[in-house]
Amino acid sequence: MKKLKLFETESTSSRRSFLRNAGAMAFAAPALSWLSQPAFAENSLQGGKPLGIALVGLGYYSTHQLAPALQKTKFCKLTGAVTGTPAKAAEWEKKFNLPKKNIYDYKTYDRIADNPDIDVVYVVLPNAMHAEYTIRALEAGKHVICEKPMAVSVKECQQMIDAAKKANKQLAIGYRLHSTPQHQEVMRFAREKTFGAIKVVETSDGFRIGDPSQWRLKKSLAGGGSMMDIGIYALNASRYVTGEEPVSVFAQEFKTDPVKFKEVDETILWQLKFPSGAVATSTSTYAAGVERLYATCENGWYEMGPCYGYGPIKFRTSKGEVNLPQLTHQAAQMDDFAQSVMSNKPSIVPGEEGLKDLKVIEAIYKSIETGKVVTIS
């Protein structure tokens, strides 16, 4: 979760203005496939009662991104909160008009099972706490969105998936970009081979991290450094840009500040090989700002940047600029999940999606440790 400038404004882009864009004419109609996605579909659920969401952990992301986004959602609303800070509890109760009974601390967390106002729990805690609080929410009979990374190990991811199945509840991972029209479009390019077979992919994400005392730099809480926090965006993108799962990886780690990054990684470079022969080169870093998604294919190329942050996404291809609506990512993401729950259909970002990324991340760390190419099973 990156501390970037807030983006609260919805774009007024329309189908008509999109079609007027000369560079996008060749694929304008298919590009509107996002309209059929759950967050935008017109269906009978719109007249129903929105699902209640409780945010667990009231840090930066909940305060400045998720809570504001929940004021824009159609199919869900903020109905509860969990915090260990009494001052925050009082502030959120007043600011969002939350009933006192819907605000919990970590000792009373499991009592959420008895609260019909809360349908979904969104876990927004340090990475090492994701598994515990996700499983407890599922056992309490609630659907769960867990912020990325899903957990700090493949073992924990599987435990979370198993708990969801046992509870017969949905578990989704906070991959908000899957709900944006721009990233959905590159997924379509992969499925339909719009530009021919994909050959080479480049994905990179990074920013210059500040406070050296924050939890993201403590391995016991974060599980890893830039790779776990933001490299996962680049990793996830390389998977959906190709539409394939990688078969092997080679990775290297670099540190310019060994004191600040004593416990976790600062910069990691890795290369993925895919079954089709496509390759991806990626970077994750806490040393500098970078946002890039690029794919070159048999018959052209496409790229986005900025593309992983919370604001507008810039998108162009070898055929020209691509103008798709700019959305509040988190609102679209939570509405997607709410409609999946209400229609009893699988989430577009289920727990299995998070598990796949953690398998690759574990292989990346193993490659760094051994200095060898690691096969991903």
Which residues does the annotation mark as catalytic? 148, 233
Q: Are 160 and 131 in contact (CB under 8 A)?
A: yes
Distance linking the first and last C-alpha atoms of the chain: 28
The set of residues, in sequence order, having a beta carbon less than 8 Å from that of 337 and lying 6+ positions away, is 76, 120, 143, 145, 170, 172, 347
Q: Residue 361: count other Cβ atoms within 10 Å of its Cβ.
A: 26
Residue 65 DSSP code = I
What are phi and psi for residue 50, nearest 5 degrees?
-65, 150
Q: Are 273 and 247 in contact (CB under 8 A)?
A: yes
Q: Residue 243: count other Cβ atoms within 10 Å of its Cβ.
A: 18
∠ CA(226), CA(230), CA(235), 5° rounding?
A: 105
